């Protein structure tokens, strides 16, 4: 067999088995060239919400292709972008009045960081510090790696990363330590923004914390004149049980980052929404106050059409009911593991569930990760544990039978490590 020239993401090619070739997708499944139906239990890295190839979204893409391809988004605009922006302003927390388009989760967070620093620079009172939460992950570009947890992911690139201030993760019962640390940083007067994943830290281990803490962090930021950037790239579009996680804390962030489920997962697109105050700080007859950011494919019309169709799915279909049903199905099936000595930290927020397999060596590089992936792969389940952390984030169309099969496989997989508990 000829070796593929493709270099795959997060893949050690010296250790990984041959890549499965997918020939089509439908609903909650991927289909390989042998005809196996593989349950996509992580929504193809958290992007697929309603299911693969939702008919309304696919039709919108086909229709848009008859009229558009890429259009320069400086000097020109187009109706899919205009209509989508109005739709996003209408459904996001109140007060987010402006929409800046980009291409991915990483880039929309980069945009947010630049907006925050530009806001203070243009106001004549520059602030330079970005505060993040330990174990956070915001992407793989230079800015988002700088803001993310330092470790094996980015050790090679340390010389080009900038410094940020880190808050301790709010361990249950010790949440005040996180709040006190943030207030201490804010008192120095140099905090431009708190960048945070609301309610669930994704790649950092599916770590979960209460909405009340998010609300208190926003209050502290506001009290000291800092901004809050909510990275809802993963948590948005119903994953935590509400359309956006910030709703559960009853807050409006100053800047909101969304991607992944924005198009239902069909095409890459991202948006950074901000308050009028931040937009107005860049609005001037002085060209030096322009927001200097772009990419070649900003507001791609076909991707915007897919996102508009996604908004229609949320309007026309009982998505919220599906999410509540999925939450309940997970809750019922997860219960068996709560007192199981093979597992610890069994947890759920909305449609996201996670549990740690008790092994001697935990963490992202735990040998348990590849073993678990191989086990699930052999059973036609797409599950990619974060080391010894197994998590599920399925499309909303997944069935009870699909979940039964998945939870039974998790139960069986834990037996591989039972002797080490």
To the nearest whole number, what is the mean pLDDT of the chain?
Answer: 96
Distance of alpha carbon 280 from alpha carbon 1, whole angstroms:
58
CA atoms within 13 A on the CB side of 413: 32
Per-residue model confidence (pLDDT) at position 365: 84
Per-residue model confidence (pLDDT) at position 421: 42
pLDDT band at 419 (very low <50, low <70, confident <90, very high): low
395, 46 contact by CB (below 8 A):
no
- Token look-up 């992580």 returns 42
For the residues 394-419, what does the mean pLDDT come to? 94
Residue 336, helix vs strand vs coil: helix
Q: Is the pLDDT of residue 1 over 60?
A: no
If one counts every other C-beta atom within 10 angstroms of the C-beta of residue 398, the result is 24
For the residues 296-312, what does the mean pLDDT come to? 98
Tell me the two tokens of residue 418.
């039972």
248, 215 contact by CB (below 8 A):
no
| Domains in the chain with CATH codes | 57-316 (3.40.640.10), 319-420 (3.90.1150.10)
Across 163-177, 333-347, 357-371, least confident range: 357-371
The per-residue pLDDT for range 256-300, each reduced to its tens digit, is: 999 999 999 999 999 999 999 999 999 999 999 999 999 999 999
E strands, 302-351, where? 343-349
The per-residue pLDDT for range 101-123, each reduced to its tens digit, is: 999 999 999 999 999 999 999 99
CA atoms within 13 A on the CB side of 13: 7
- Token look-up 């935990």 returns 362
Across 11-20, 250-259, 311-320, least confident range: 11-20
The per-residue pLDDT for range 52-72, each reduced to its tens digit, is: 999 999 999 999 999 999 999
Distance of alpha carbon 219 from alpha carbon 152, whole angstroms:
34
Exposed/middle/buried for 215, CB within 10 Å: 0-12, 13-18, 19+? Answer: middle
347, 336 contact by CB (below 8 A):
no
pLDDT band at 33 (very low <50, low <70, confident <90, very high): very high
Per-residue model confidence (pLDDT) at position 420: 45
Q: Is the pLDDT of residue 2 over 80?
A: no
Per-residue model confidence (pLDDT) at position 418: 74
Per-residue model confidence (pLDDT) at position 276: 98
Distance of alpha carbon 266 from alpha carbon 264, whole angstroms:
6
């Amino acid at each position: 067999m000829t070796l593929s020239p493709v270099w795959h993401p997060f893949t050690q090619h010296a250790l990984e088995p041959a890549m499965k070739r997918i020939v089509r997708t439908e609903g909650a499944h991927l289909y390989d060239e042998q005809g196996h139906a593989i349950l996509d239990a992580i929504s193809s890295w958290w992007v697929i919400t309603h299911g693969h190839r939702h008919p309304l979204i696919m039709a919108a893409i086909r229709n848009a292709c008859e009229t558009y391809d890429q259009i320069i988004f400086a000097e020109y605009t187009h109706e899919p972008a205009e209509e989508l922006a109005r739709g996003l302003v209408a459904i996001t927390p109140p007060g987010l009045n402006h929409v800046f388009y980009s291409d991915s989760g990483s880039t929309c967070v980069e945009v947010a960081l630049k907006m925050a620093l530009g806001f203070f620079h243009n106001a004549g009172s520059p602030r330079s510090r970005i505060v993040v939460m330990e174990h956070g992950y915001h992407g793989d570009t230079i800015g988002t790696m700088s803001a993310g947890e330092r470790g094996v992911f980015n050790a090679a690139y340390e010389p080009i990363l900038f410094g940020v201030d880190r808050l301790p993760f709010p361990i249950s019962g010790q949440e005040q330590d996180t709040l006190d640390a943030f207030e201490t940083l804010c008192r120095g007067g140099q905090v431009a923004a708190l960048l945070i994943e609301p309610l669930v830290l994704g790649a950092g281990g599916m770590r979960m914390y209460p909405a009340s803490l998010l609300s208190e962090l926003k209050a502290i930021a506001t009290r000291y004149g800092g901004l809050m950037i909510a990275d809802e790239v993963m948590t948005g579009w119903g994953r935590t049980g509400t359309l956006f996680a910030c709703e559960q804390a009853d807050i409006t962030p100053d800047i909101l980052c969304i991607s992944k489920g924005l198009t239902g997962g069909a095409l890459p697109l991202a948006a950074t929404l901000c308050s009028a105050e931040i937009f107005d700080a860049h609005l001037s007859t002085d060209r030096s106050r322009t927001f200097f950011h772009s990419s070649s494919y900003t507001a791609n019309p076909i991707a915007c059409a897919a996102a508009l169709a996604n908004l229609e799915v949320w309007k026309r279909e009982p998505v919220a009911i599906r999410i509540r049903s999925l939450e309940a199905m997970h809750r019922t099936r997860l219960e068996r593991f709560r007192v199981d000595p093979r597992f610890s930290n069994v947890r759920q927020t909305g449609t996201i569930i996670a549990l740690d397999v008790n092994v001697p060596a935990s963490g992202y590089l735990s040998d348990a990760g590849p073993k678990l992936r191989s086990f699930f792969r052999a059973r036609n389940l797409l599950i990619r544990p974060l080391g010894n952390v197994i998590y599920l984030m399925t499309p909303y169309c997944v069935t009870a039978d699909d979940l039964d099969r998945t939870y039974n496989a998790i139960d069986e997989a834990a037996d591989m490590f039972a002797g080490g508990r």
